[in-house]
Amino acid sequence: MYKALSLDGWETHGISHLIADTNVVPFDTPNHFRLGYMLDHGTLDTGHISPEVALRHRLRHSAAHVMADAVLGLFPEAKMAIGPPTQDGFYYDFDVSRPFTPEDLEQIEAIMVQRIAAGHPFRMEEIEREDAKALFSDQPYKLEIIEGLDEAEPITVYRHDEFVDLCQGPHVDSTGDIAAVKLLTVAGAYWRGDEHRPMLQRIYGTAFESREALDAHLARLEEAEKRDHRTLGRQLGLYSIHDEIGPGLIVWHPKGGLVRTLIEDYWRDLHKRWNYDSVYSPHIGRGSLWQTSGHLDFFRENMYGSLDVDEQEYFLKPMNCPFHIMIYRSSLRSYRELPLRYGELGTVYRYERSGVLHGLMRVRGFTQDDAHIFCRPDQVEDEIGGVLDLTFELLKAFGFSEYSIMVSTRPEKAVGDDDMWEHATASLRRSLEQRGLSFGIDEGGGAFYGPKIDINITDALGRAWQCTTVQFDFNLPQRFELNYQDDEGNRVQPYMVHRAILGSVERFFGVLLEHYSGAFPLWLAPVQAVIIPIADRHLEYAEKVSKTLATAGIRVDVDVRSDRMNQKIRNAQMQKVPYMLVVGDKEAEADSVSVRHRDEGDLGPMPVGKFTYRIAGEAVVPGAMPPSESTG
């Protein structure tokens, strides 16, 4: 089966994360992924990455070239597009007359093994632009890349044996250094992520420094496939997407809606504890608002078309920021009022190409856990510290305790006062240092409007997911002429901080679903216990137990179907229900339940009161008070 993907879709697990970390910019990288700079041909800025990551980057980049060599051997008419390494492997896009088959991949991999065994050295050459055009005269995608390069940018190619590719590297010394390689899947990919451009065939593969490392990775891939949130979402009845409604638009089913409500309720309660004010904003705004904010000038391609209301343009909101700014502007602010912290679970709408849509991870309508902080210069560091403390408390509650953190600093082109940039950047760094948190520096990697902190969380499979962003903004306060009156009566521009901890509720839900493989912790489980009556005559007792548990705040179902008991238990296990309570004649007489846990198995009989106290204690929402003994 072939699926359409766009180059834009590799936001977190793809080339952008790796290129940013390694400062490598191969010519065969899409333009919008060209985030870093190579220090020298064939060398890496290893100050930002571990030697293992640098080695794997070179191995995978080299393996992509060997794969392209093998493809051209089998399909001489193939047109090559791009073939970059990724965080977990590599891919190469080809324009061929028919889709690749599994049998093709076997043949391609066999040829790759031969090329690797031959130990062909990789050689880099710098060539003139016209020579490059002549060299790739029969490769239209390479010619397009060449035409898009700056006139002053040197053009390099890498060769091994008789194969040559447009590339800046780096690579391993020879094909023989690629110790273990495996081709994985084939997918469709639009050239340059544009559905109006040709659909190419993308071959995915991976390479490692040893067979053992490759085997471990393949085992993780197999486990990741089992945890795919799209499959789990369907199996567990959590959400769905319908063509009749539109791609990228999520419909939440009762169980999924309940889990989402629990996530959002915890978010609201935590933010209330941290002294955030909850606000709400409309889903559309007048065109002039988005003109002032700059979205119509710089973000319009990601916005939906205008709505004509009373002969004026309105737009679905792509962001919440301007609405929070208008709340701030609704009255004259004094320095005594600051800081102001506005938080909103605000749904926004952004156009995404159909090829990049991916379950809950990439959608067209999503809810951001948005907040904006307006503060004085002397409050900046404390506010950033507060955001970090809130962030780690929230992420820990959802089971995430491993992070990678990056501070991105001022780019060459930026807006805002130099002193404000320096103060904001220093505050980000000091707040992290004071908490003993290790972090990297992405010099020049900040947005044009302010420095930021990005926090990636690590899931149960060791995968990194970009989650939290803490972003200063020196642009919008200028555009909207924000100010407050200081202690001397002067009008002063406040510092403004955007921050989202979950990122989007939809994407975080997808990450959470895969992290737990659908087996949510008890406090998040949509059904915490299911009561399984052995026969119809036990239904009355089952309902009695259900009322007892429900009164204690437990989410409980009674399986009233006519299936056999073992089938009901199996169904509850498949639905990832934490507790299964079997009731029959013995249990009804003893006012007890036979308890089975989804992970621990049979726990034996237990009085209803004792079980109620047990599950109520385990189901406590993080930060809430546990139940008292009287519950039982």
**Domain limit, last residue, from 463, 491, 515:** 515
Say whether pLDDT at 85 is over 60: yes
Catalytic residue among 13, 333, 362, 498: 498
Any catalytic annotation for residue 486?
A: no
Residues 549 and 465 in one domain: no
Strand ranges inside 31-106, DSSP E: 79-80, 90-95
Read off the tokens for 620.
Answer: 């406590």
**Domain of 504: which CATH number?**
3.30.930.10
SS3 560: coil
Any catalytic annotation for residue 273?
A: no
44 within domain boundaries: yes
Catalytic residue among 255, 324, 452, 596: 452
Residues 208 and 263 in one domain: no
For residue 501, what pLDDT is reported? 96
For Cα atoms 455, 457, 461, give the angle at the middle one, nearest 5 degrees. 155
**Domain limit, last residue, from 486, 515, 544:** 515
Give me the numbers of helices (H) and strands (E) for the chain, helices first please: 19, 28
Residue 616 corresponds to which amino acid? A
Query: Residue 623: left if φ>0, alpha if ψ -120 to 50, beta else—which one?
Result: left
Cβ atoms of 89 and 61 closer than 8 Å:
no
Tell whether omega for the bond before 339 is within 30 degrees of 0, i.e. cis. Answer: yes
The Cα–Cα gap between 583 and 572 comes to: 15
Neighbours of 554 (CB within 10 A): 19
Phi, psi of 10 (to 5 degrees): -100, 45
Residues 216 and 267 in one domain: no
Q: What is the pLDDT of residues 329-388, one digit of tens each?
A: 999 999 999 999 999 999 999 999 887 899 999 999 999 999 999 999 999 999 999 999
For residue 42, what pLDDT is reported? 30
For the ranges 42-46, 521-525, 616-620, the lowest mean pLDDT is seen at 42-46
577 within domain boundaries: yes
Name 203's bridge partners: 92, 186
The Cα–Cα gap between 630 and 627 comes to: 8
Range of the domain at 500: 239-281+320-515
Residues 158 and 264 in one domain: no
For the ranges 67-71, 127-131, 133-137, 298-302, the lowest mean pLDDT is seen at 298-302
pLDDT more than 70, % of the chain: 91
353 within domain boundaries: yes
Q: What is the pLDDT of residues 446-497, one digit of tens each?
A: 999 999 999 999 999 989 999 999 999 999 999 999 999 999 999 999 999 9
Picking from 530, 536, 574, the residue whose alpha carbon sits closest to that of residue 549 is: 530
Residues 427 and 464 in one domain: yes
Cβ atoms of 142 and 157 closer than 8 Å:
no
Read off the tokens for 35.
Answer: 């985030």
For residue 13, what pLDDT is reported? 27
Any catalytic annotation for residue 142?
A: no
Tell whether omega for the bond before 578 is within 30 degrees of 0, i.e. cis. Answer: no
Any catalytic annotation for residue 358?
A: no
The Cα–Cα gap between 613 and 552 comes to: 8
Residues 603 and 493 in one domain: no
458 within domain boundaries: yes
Catalytic residue among 321, 375, 466, 559: 321
For the ranges 9-23, 338-352, 360-374, 429-443, the lowest mean pLDDT is seen at 9-23
Strand ranges inside 411-494, DSSP E: 440-442, 452-458, 464-472, 484-485, 491-492
Residues 222 and 262 in one domain: no
Any catalytic annotation for residue 452?
A: yes
Read off the tokens for 498.
Answer: 């955007």
Say whether pLDDT at 40 is over 50: no
Residue 260 corresponds to which amino acid? R
Read off the tokens for 32.
Answer: 């919008």
Read off the tokens for 21.
Answer: 């970390």
First and final CA of the chain: distance in angstroms?
Answer: 54
**Domain of 537: which CATH number?**
3.40.50.800
Cβ atoms of 181 and 210 closer than 8 Å:
no
- Which spans in 319-406 are helix H? 321-329, 380-397
Residues 201 and 259 in one domain: no
Neighbours of 277 (CB within 10 A): 13
The label of the residue with tokens 């912290």 reads 341
Residues 507 and 553 in one domain: no
Residues 153-166 have a mean pLDDT of 96
Catalytic residue among 79, 372, 499, 507: 372
Any catalytic annotation for residue 321?
A: yes
Residue 531 corresponds to which amino acid? I
For residue 193, what pLDDT is reported? 82
Q: CA torsion sign, 446 to 447 to 448 to 451?
A: negative
Residues 245 and 325 in one domain: yes
Residues 398 and 334 in one domain: yes
Name 166's bridge partners: 157
- Which spans in 207-312 are helix H? 211-226, 229-235, 254-273, 287-293, 295-298
Name 408's bridge partners: 442, 452
438 within domain boundaries: yes
The Cα–Cα gap between 562 and 391 comes to: 47
Q: Say what angle helices 254-273 and 380-397 make with each other, to 10 degrees.
A: 150
Cβ atoms of 122 and 160 closer than 8 Å:
yes
**Domain of 175: which CATH number?**
3.30.980.10
Distance set, CA 345 to CA 104, 278, 528 (Å)? 48, 9, 26
Write out 28-43 in H/E/C secondary structure: CCCHHHCCCCCCECCE
Q: What is the pLDDT of residues 192-241, one digit of tens each?
A: 988 889 999 999 999 999 999 999 999 999 999 999 999 999 999 999 99
For residue 626, what pLDDT is reported? 62
For residue 629, what pLDDT is reported? 54
Residues 106-131 have a mean pLDDT of 97
pTM score: 0.82
Residue 406 corresponds to which amino acid? M
303 within domain boundaries: no
What mean pLDDT value characterizes the chain? 90
Read off the tokens for 408.
Answer: 């991105």
Distance set, CA 517 to CA 326, 467, 520, 522 (Å)? 42, 19, 8, 14
567 within domain boundaries: yes
**From the centroid of its chain, how far is CA 190?**
21
The Cα–Cα gap between 24 and 168 comes to: 8
Q: What is the pLDDT of residues 238-261, one digit of tens each?
A: 999 999 999 999 999 999 999 999
Residues 501-526 have a mean pLDDT of 97
Report the number of distinct structural domains present in the chain: 3
Any catalytic annotation for residue 277?
A: no
The Cα–Cα gap between 469 and 490 comes to: 32
**From the centroid of its chain, how far is CA 287?**
30
The Cα–Cα gap between 149 and 233 comes to: 43
Residues 344 and 469 in one domain: yes
Write out 325-340 in H/E/C secondary structure: HHHHHCCCCECCCCCE
SS3 407: strand
For residue 566, what pLDDT is reported? 95
Q: CA torsion sign, 519 to 524 to 525 to 529?
A: positive
Catalytic residue among 69, 93, 177, 370: 370
Say whether pLDDT at 525 is over 80: yes
Catalytic residue among 295, 350, 576, 596: 350
**Domain limit, last residue, from 515, 543, 566:** 515
Q: Report which secondary-structure segment, H or E, holds 509.
A: helix 505-515
Picking from 98, 63, 200, 194, the residue whose alpha carbon sits closest to that of residue 139 is: 200
Q: What is the pLDDT of residues 377-422, one digit of tens each?
A: 999 999 999 999 999 999 999 999 999 999 999 999 999 889 999 9
Catalytic residue among 201, 368, 471, 575: 368
Say whether pLDDT at 632 is over 80: no
Q: What is the pLDDT of residues 171-183, one digit of tens each?
A: 999 999 999 999 9
305 within domain boundaries: no
